[in-house]
């Protein structure tokens, strides 16, 4: 939990210190890469760390990830300009990828199926606590100390986590393989390059350059070429980073697609709800953050109780109930009155967190329970990778939707010269004298309409997740027994699938 806390609190604690960082180092035009670079490094390294943990064990990968994250934190604190800080944030992300995937896998290794919901719920509380505490701690450090402390504070937490892992994490012994393990470094490089170009195109498209510009088209084209090359390399590799069985097995493929769709819909509350709360409801940044944070309160509670549902009706049906409820909540958001009260969206987010807790945890626990030890790291990494990619795609798609709706609604505004970009409009609304009363109301209604369309799109993503479960997922997950899942000689897919029960 301490190791995961390093990655969980990182994004929220940095976001509140951006004004101080930019004021000290400059680089306003590229500061978004403080987050994009970190996200990119985490996402593209997840498959690599999953395979490495299956090959060499979880403990060495987790230790390496913590050390790399702490090295990146020290370098970030010593950054002398924005370019250096962005580069060191990428180093942090390279360690963060090991933390996110490996901790989830270790939880499945150490605890039997009946105890996993309780453990996964505790891991969820790490993210919930970070969502609330991160902005507060970051704001205090940036305002009363120095922004560099938001990185240095990782050192004591990471040191304790490292000591606990080294001393107390004992993995079950495994027979030494007959042949020396081989790492598909060519495949790892191909996956890293493909993911880097694709995520750069998605994150920067429509922001740093237009979608149909040469940079965007070039990046998407290069991503497609590298993706084809990656497939060729992985099909020829003896131990591929992303094995073909990840997509050939219906259970894993359906969960990957469903959680990818969940990553897509999560953009609506995490990215656009704070904008709605500030621009439409007129709340301050802290109050807007609390409107969102109520979702992180109901999520772990729902996740912890989900085993009482899936033990009765199965993983697939439980997840379908959760996503059906999420679909209804997302469709209810555009029906909120204008301007409304802050408790309206807060109540919906409370319900959404409960619904998604009932959706995500049964799928993660379920898919981890269908594979043995030697495949669990790769399986878990593939699920998290798809969720992260879905979130990146959602940010790009819904950002374009919101800006398009906003621009269309502002065409008949009572004043000329209004910005057509959602971020620019939000900043302008923070100045009480920027617009007349009529213009301000018109702009607020335009933002309200833009966010409404985003939530409708998020409801469409929820429908895609349901479709993946209905059409692809087996009615009962082929859960293997704990004995069959224990570390041992190389396990075949067929043996793992037969050695257990359905749920």
Q: What is the pLDDT of residue 498?
A: 40
- Mean pLDDT per 10-residue interval, the chain, length 503 residues: 84 72 76 78 86 87 94 92 89 89 87 81 78 71 79 90 91 66 80 83 74 86 91 84 85 93 89 82 74 81 86 91 95 89 90 92 90 87 88 82 81 67 68 70 84 93 95 88 51 41 63
Q: What is the pLDDT of residue 467?
A: 95
SS3 478: strand
The span from the first CA to the last CA of the chain, in angstroms, equals 28
The pTM of this model reads 0.82
Measured distance CA(26)–CA(20) in Å, rounded: 9
Q: How far apart are CA 322 and CA 338, in angstroms?
A: 28
SS (H, E, C) 127-185: HHHHHHHHHHHHHHHHHHCCCCHHHHCHHHHHHHHHHHHHHHCCCCCCCCCCCCCCCCH
Q: Which residue has the tokens 């498959």?
A: 47
Per the document, the length of the chain is 503
The whole-number pLDDT of residue 494 equals: 39
Q: How many whole angstroms separate alpha carbon 69 and alpha carbon 99?
A: 9
Q: Which residue has the tokens 């992300």?
A: 93
- Measured distance CA(345)–CA(98) in Å, rounded: 35
Q: What is the dihedral of CA 381, 384, 387, 389, to 10 degrees?
A: -50
Angle subtended at Cα 36 by Cα 31 and Cα 39, rounded to the nearest 5 degrees: 145
Taking the C-alpha atoms of residue 337 and residue 347, their distance in angstroms, rounded to an integer, is: 14
* pLDDT score for 285: 66
To which H or E segment does residue 39 belong?
A: helix 33-56
Residue 78, classed as helix, strand or coil, is: coil
pLDDT recorded at residue 287: 73
Tokens of 360: 């995500």
- Per-residue confidence (pLDDT) for residue 229, from 0 to 100: 92
């Amino acid at each position: 939990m301490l190791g995961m806390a390093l990655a969980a609190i990182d994004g929220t604690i940095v976001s509140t210190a951006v004004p101080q960082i930019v004021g000290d180092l400059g680089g306003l035009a590229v500061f978004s890469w403080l987050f994009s670079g970190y996200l990119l490094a985490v996402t593209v390294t997840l498959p690599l760390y999953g395979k490495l943990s299956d090959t060499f064990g979880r403990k060495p990968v987790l230790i390496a990830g913590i050390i790399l994250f702490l090295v990146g934190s020290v370098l970030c604190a010593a950054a002398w300009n924005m370019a250096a800080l962005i580069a060191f944030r990428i180093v942090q992300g390279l360690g963060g990828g090991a933390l996110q995937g490996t901790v989830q896998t270790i939880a499945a290794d150490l605890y039997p199926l009946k105890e996993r919901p309780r453990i996964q719920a505790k891991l969820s509380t790490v993210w919930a606590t970070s969502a609330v505490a991160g902005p507060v701690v970051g704001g205090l450090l940036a305002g009363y100390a120095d922004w560099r402390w938001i990185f240095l504070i990782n050192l004591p937490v990471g040191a304790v986590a490292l000591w606990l892992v080294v001393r107390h994490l004992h993995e079950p012994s495994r027979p030494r393989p007959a042949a020396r393990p081989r790492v598909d470094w060519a495949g790892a490089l191909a996956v890293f390059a493909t993911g880097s170009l694709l995520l750069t195109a998605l994150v920067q498209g429509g922001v740093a350059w237009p979608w149909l510009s040469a940079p965007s088209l070039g990046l998407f084209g290069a991503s497609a070429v590298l993706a084809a090359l990656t497939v060729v390399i992985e099909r020829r590799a003896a131990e591929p980073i992303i094995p073909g069985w990840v997509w050939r097995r219906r259970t894993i493929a359906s969960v990957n697609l469903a959680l990818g769709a969940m990553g897509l819909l999560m953009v609506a509350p995490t990215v656009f709800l704070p904008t709605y709360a500030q621009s439409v409801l007129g709340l301050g940044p802290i109050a807007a953050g609390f409107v969102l944070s109520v979702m992180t309160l109901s999520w772990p509670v729902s996740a912890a109780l989900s085993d009482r549902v899936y033990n009765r009706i199965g993983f697939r049906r439980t997840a379908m109930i959760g996503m059906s409820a999420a679909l209804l909540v997302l469709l209810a958001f555009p029906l909120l009155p204008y301007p409304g009260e802050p408790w309206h969206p807060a109540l919906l987010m409370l319900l959404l967190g409960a619904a998604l807790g009932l959706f995500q945890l049964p799928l993660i626990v379920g898919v981890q329970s269908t594979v043995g030890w030697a495949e669990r790291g790769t399986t878990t990494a593939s699920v998290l990778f798809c969720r992260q990619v879905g979130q990146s795609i959602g940010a790009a798609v819904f950002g374009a939707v919101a800006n398009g709706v906003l621009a269309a609604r502002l065409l008949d505004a009572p004043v000329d010269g209004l910005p057509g970009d959602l971020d620019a409009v939000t900043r302008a609304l923070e100045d009480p004298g920027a617009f007349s009363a009529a213009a301000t109301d018109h702009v607020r209604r335009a933002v309200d309409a833009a966010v409404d369309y985003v939530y409708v799109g998020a409801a469409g993503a929820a429908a895609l997740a349901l479709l993946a479960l209905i059409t692809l997922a087996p009615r009962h997950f082929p859960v293997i027994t704990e004995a069959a899942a224990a570390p041992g000689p190389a396990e075949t897919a067929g043996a793992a699938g037969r050695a257990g029960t359905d749920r």
